[in-house]
Amino acid sequence: SILVRVAAWIVLLQSAGLVNRSLMGLGLIDQPLALLFNRTGVIIAMVHILLPFMILPLYSVMKSVPGTYLRAAVSLGSPPLAAFFRVYVPQTYPGIGAGALLVFILSIGYYVTPALLGGADDQMLSYYIAQYTNVNVNWGMACALGALLLAATLVLYAIYRRVVKSELSMG
């Protein structure tokens, strides 16, 4: 559950938490870092929660790229690193795009993680939608913010479709 993960991050990131104690024990810092109730804590927790949603589409695309392409590029005189970036990475663009789109769609409506780990200035749009529906009871503003979320998602999806379509027509 996301709530359990966020609660675990609260324990880990607090001033006397495992992260600060470990960094102080290693001598990397002299005093505890402020990792809670700011953007840093929100980013750390959201990366932890959303990373699998980026890795899975990327992994499936990377797995389907034949290794013979890299070997052929190297046998034709390309250095291995250049072959990787010129042959392998471009073939993973659909996976990168799919993962980025999936993570964007999941994160754009995030509510629990920023509400519990973020400060007052580090809230996401979904927090304000909930605020306008439950506390301020301004349905018009909540609807406008929801439409903004939908529009941002549709624009990104249209960009993704155009990029993937051009990649498929080129390859």
Res 169: pLDDT: 60
70 inside domain = no
Q: What are the pLDDT digits (tens) for 36-71?
A: 888 888 899 999 999 999 999 999 999 998 989 989
Amino acid letter for position 150: L
Res 136: pLDDT: 87
Q: For helices 93-108 and 39-64, what crossing angle results, to 10°?
A: 150
Q: Residue 137: which region, alpha, beta or left (left: phi > 0; alpha: psi -120 to 50)?
A: left
Q: What are the pLDDT digits (tens) for 13-28?
A: 998 889 999 999 998 9
Show the DSSP H helices in 14-38 as ranges. 18-25
Task: Inform me whether the pLDDT recorded for 95 exceeds 60.
Answer: yes
Task: Inform me whether the pLDDT recorded for 109 exceeds 80.
Answer: no
119 inside domain = yes
105 inside domain = yes
Domain count, the chain: 1
Domain that holds residue 53: 2-60+93-123
160 inside domain = no
Which residue do the tokens 């529009």 mark?
A: 151
Contacts of 15 (CB under 8 A, 6+ apart): 32, 34, 36
Averaged pLDDT for residues 76-99: 90
pTM score: 0.74
Nearest alpha-carbon partner for 69 in 58, 79, 83, 48: 83
Q: What are the pLDDT digits (tens) for 113-165?
A: 888 888 777 778 888 888 888 888 889 999 999 999 889 888 888 887 887 77
86 inside domain = no
Q: Measure the CA–CA gap between 114 and 131, rounded to whole angstroms.
A: 13
68 inside domain = no
Task: Inform me whether the pLDDT recorded for 100 exceeds 70.
Answer: yes
Res 168: pLDDT: 58
Task: In the chain, count H helices and then E strands.
Answer: 10, 0
14 inside domain = yes
55 inside domain = yes
Res 85: pLDDT: 93
Amino acid letter for position 68: T
